[in-house]
Chains A and B, each alone.
Chain A
Amino acid sequence: QVQLQESGPGLVKPSQTLSLTCSVSGGSISSGSHYWNWIRQPAGKGLEWLGRVYSRGSANYNPSLASRVIISVDTSMNQVSLNLLSVTAADTAVYYCARGGPGFSNWFDRWGQGTLVIVSS
């Protein structure tokens, strides 16, 4: 059973870079045909897809954030990373990593438990 676990700082200062890692266990990022996604959810609000990456490194981003977001994969560590540049208070949210469905399907069949990131000085 594939499991995902997000990690990273819970507090980031405005204008700095938010950096999170998603560690995948129970399966290899390189095996199968899955996208690896980042999704966030501000407190009490809905879900926003940030972007996705494939094991060979090709990434797609939400245009609303494309100039600030970088998603990468480290197959040797079986990890997916999120970097969000120049953060503001509006980036405060729970951040989830999620595996896409088989065959590069655009649904999310495995989720991490999420990690809360607060942007504040």
Chain B
Amino acid sequence: DIQMTQSPSSLSASVGDRVTITCRASQTITTYLNWYQQKPGKAPELLIYKASSLQSGVPSRFSGSGSGTDFTLTISSLQPEDFATYYCQQGHSAPLTFGGGTKVDIK
């Protein structure tokens, strides 16, 4: 199985901050990397697919980059509704696997 490691596991930030979350795969996954946002008590929502493609309806302050084994999710200016947990997920090969999550909370 491909192991996905996210860092940090949690971070505190203020509204307006630029936030970066990283995800590392245990082997190359080219650009088959997806990002999700999950709020408490809700299902995850797709933000970014194939490393850098913005899902329809997702604000442009979210962006993704990377290829191979190292990937980044960036929120350019954190908004109140962005406080949530973020997960990466590899879509390179089954079994599909997720990172452990990064919780973004208010500083």
Partner of B32, one of A37, A106, A108, A112: A106
B59 at the interface (CB under 8 A from A): no
List, in ascending order, chain B residues with CB within 8 A of A60's CB.
94
Main secondary structure of the interface of B (DSSP, over half): loop
Closest chain B CB from A14 CB (angstroms) = 25
| Contact residues, A72-121 vs B (CB, 8 A) | 96, 98, 101, 105-109, 111-114
Interface size of A as a range: 20 to 34
A46→B101 contact, CB < 8 A: yes
A47→B87 contact, CB < 8 A: yes
Contact with A along B77-107 (1 / 0, CB 8 A): 0000000000101011011111111000000
Partner of A64, one of B34, B44, B95: B95
CA distance A106 to B89 in the complex (A): 9
Contact with A along B33-64 (1 / 0, CB 8 A): 01010000011111001100001000000000
List, in ascending order, chain B residues with CB within 8 A of A46's CB.
87, 98-101
Closest chain B CB from A100 CB (angstroms) = 9
The residue on B at minimum CB distance from A4 is B43
A47→B44 contact, CB < 8 A: yes
Partner of A109, one of B55, B94, B101: B55
